[in-house]
Structure 1
Amino acid sequence: MAKDVSIEQRRKARVRKAIRERAYGRPRLSVFRSSKQIYAQIIDDEKGQTIVAASSMEKANREALKTGADTQAAKVVGKLIAERAAAKGVKEVVFDRGAYMYHGRVKALAEGAREGGLQF
């Protein structure tokens, strides 16, 4: 019997497939959001390595932000990941929203990354 695949898993696979087809060697900016925090990492899929990562769980962010689960926190994490990527020499990425819709915290993170200088 075939396994039941959830809607979220199918959406995630569909987005990941589209990203692989259009990446052209660029690293992937992957987003994960939980109910209380938001995380981002830039991944080089050819080498299978994480280049840089940032989250609302980091000590500086926990002290500065009211909560890790709002759009303000997501924007700060986006700017932080862009700053760290620039230090590593990464300027262009492809955005991987995963199974999440592009609005709210995911959109705020993307806008923060763009403000920080990442292009996608």
Structure 2
Amino acid sequence: MKFSKQALLKLKNKNKRLKPSKYKILKRDSLRGKIKGTSERPRLSVYRSNENIYAQIIDDTIAQTLVSCSTLDRTIKVQISNGRTCEASRIMGEKLAELSLKKNITKIVFDRGPYLYHGRVKALADGARAGGLQF
């Protein structure tokens, strides 16, 4: 069953039961409409799973990933015990900043996706700021 964005908002406001994935898509799309990556300020997109965290820097004008990093990378995996901690996210943010500075990317736009700016997502952002990226 397909719903429009307006219908989803109405159903959400009326406390009707929809699948959580529908709410996740609605939340992501409402944020994504405001955030666009350009060649001057690409977008840092975050995906967080139960086990790991992934991030990539995207230029939306040409629809191309410029830099990507995750807790599964060998250089990061050696430093951490598992990818579920805030410490692992902070280390990954610093590594992502290091890789982006090599490609002369200093200013970015942060796209947290459907996730709250809290916990591992916040730790990744703090690590990227510590590494030299400007949000």
Scaled by the length of structure 2, the TM-score of the pair is: 0.82
Alignment of 1:3-22 (within 5 A): 3=3, 6-20=22-36
Q: Within 2, Cα distance between the matches of 1:102 and 1:28?
A: 16
Displacement after TM superposition at 1:55 (Å): 0.6
Displacement after TM superposition at 1:63 (Å): 2.0
Opposite residue 23 of structure 2, the aligned amino acid is I
Larger deviation: 48-57 or 60-69? 60-69
Alignment of 1:40-119 (within 5 A): 40-119=55-134
| Higher CA-based Rg | 2
Would you say how many aligned residue pairs link Structure 1 and Structure 2? 118
Opposite residue 7 of structure 1, the aligned amino acid is Y
Opposite residue 19 of structure 1, the aligned amino acid is I
1 or 2 for the larger relative contact order (CA 8 Å, sep ≥6)?
A: 1
* Deviation by residue 1:64-102 (Cα, 9 ceiling, x = unmatched): 201101100000110011111100000100000000000
Opposite residue 97 of structure 1, the aligned amino acid is R
Displacement after TM superposition at 1:6 (Å): 1.3
State percent identity of aligned pairs.
44
Scaled by the length of structure 1, the TM-score of the pair is: 0.92
Question: Any unmatched runs of 5+ in structure 1?
Answer: none
Q: CA RMSD in A?
A: 1.6
2:14 counterpart residue number: none
Q: Within 2, Cα distance between the matches of 1:61 and 1:11?
A: 30
State the secondary structure of the residue aligned to 2:47: strand
